[in-house]
Amino acid sequence: MKERNGLTMNGGKFMDKKIIITIAREYGSGGREIGKKIADQLKIPFYDKELITIAAKESGFKPEIFEKNDEQVDYSNNYLTAIGYVLGSPVAGLTDISMNDELHMIQTNVIRQLADKGSCVIVGRCANYVLRDDEAMVSVFITGDTEDKVLRVVNDYHAASLEDAEKLMEKTDKRRGNYYNYYTNQDWKDAQHYDLCVNSSVLGIDKTVDLICEFAKLKIQ
């Protein structure tokens, strides 16, 4: 049993309960860093790009295929097929599955398997929707002030200029939003789909981590 920042922990669980924290994030908001620090603080596994490695290993596809199609949509395919696969089974009568849909199905199954194994933090990939019936899940959406996000994209992701950073933010958020909307039939930024929405600019990265951990403790206990 350990005490960290006021959180009673035992083997990565609050009061011996499993906890799954899913993080949806705007580009440049620090969502990946926040998720990693939450996992480190709670001493539980962290999955972001790591999902690609696991999915590739289990499916036999090369990791490069997942990376190329990560959180992207192929609109040429039937919408119902995609919805069927987010639920974990194909839609009857539909056999023409796009590569994006097949990869999404594989990642969805991996997310469920990881959640079944125990506590963890999962970033992106519609995880809050995939695990929506799991009582151990705490879903979080992270945003940030535009100025802070732009500077983070320039400094951390090496955008050539502030203008390029803004364009990259807009492009990435549009792609992530389209992916989420397509496979869930829900609005990616709609607060009602999350337990907690946080502006990382208000408290900064570390205090945002503490806030999410404290919120998770209160929800799960």
Please give the pLDDT value at position 74. 66
User: Where does the pLDDT of residue 146 fall: very low under 50, low under 70, confident under 90, or very high at 90 and above?
Assistant: very high
What single DSSP character describes residue 94?
-
pTM score of the predicted model: 0.82
Q: Is 106 exposed, middle or buried (0-12, 13-18, 19+ CB in 10 A)?
A: buried
Q: What is the pLDDT of residues 101-113, one digit of tens each?
A: 888 888 999 999 9
CA 172, 175, 178, 183 dihedral sign is: negative
Domain ranges of the chain: 2-220
Instruction: Decide which of 12 and 75 is more confident.
Output: 75
Average of per-residue pLDDT across 183-205: 97
3-class DSSP state for residue 15? coil
Q: What is the pLDDT of residues 88-99, one digit of tens each?
A: 444 444 445 677
Q: Please state, for a pLDDT cut of 70, what percent of the chain lies above it.
A: 80
In one-letter notation, the amino acid at residue 71 is E
Residues 220 and 15: their CA atoms lie apart, in Å, by 9
pLDDT of 87 over the 80 cut: no
- Characterise 6 by phi-psi region: left (phi > 0), alpha (psi -120 to 50), beta (else): left
Q: Please state, for a pLDDT cut of 90, what percent of the chain lies above it.
A: 62
Distance of CA 199 to the CA centre of its chain: 16
pLDDT of 199 over the 80 cut: yes
Average of per-residue pLDDT across 134-152: 97
- Its CATH architecture, for the domain 2-220, is 3-Layer(aba) Sandwich (3.40)
Residues 61 and 41: their CA atoms lie apart, in Å, by 33
* Residue that the structure tokens 């732009």 belong to: 150
What six digits make up the tokens of 67? Answer: 């990376």
pLDDT of 179 over the 50 cut: yes
- What is the rounded (10 degree) CA torsion for 6, 8, 11, 16? -150
Residues 142 and 28: their CA atoms lie apart, in Å, by 10
Please give the pLDDT value at position 149. 97
Half-sphere exposure of 60 (CA within 13 A, CB side): 0
Distance of CA 50 to the CA centre of its chain: 12
Please give the pLDDT value at position 14. 55
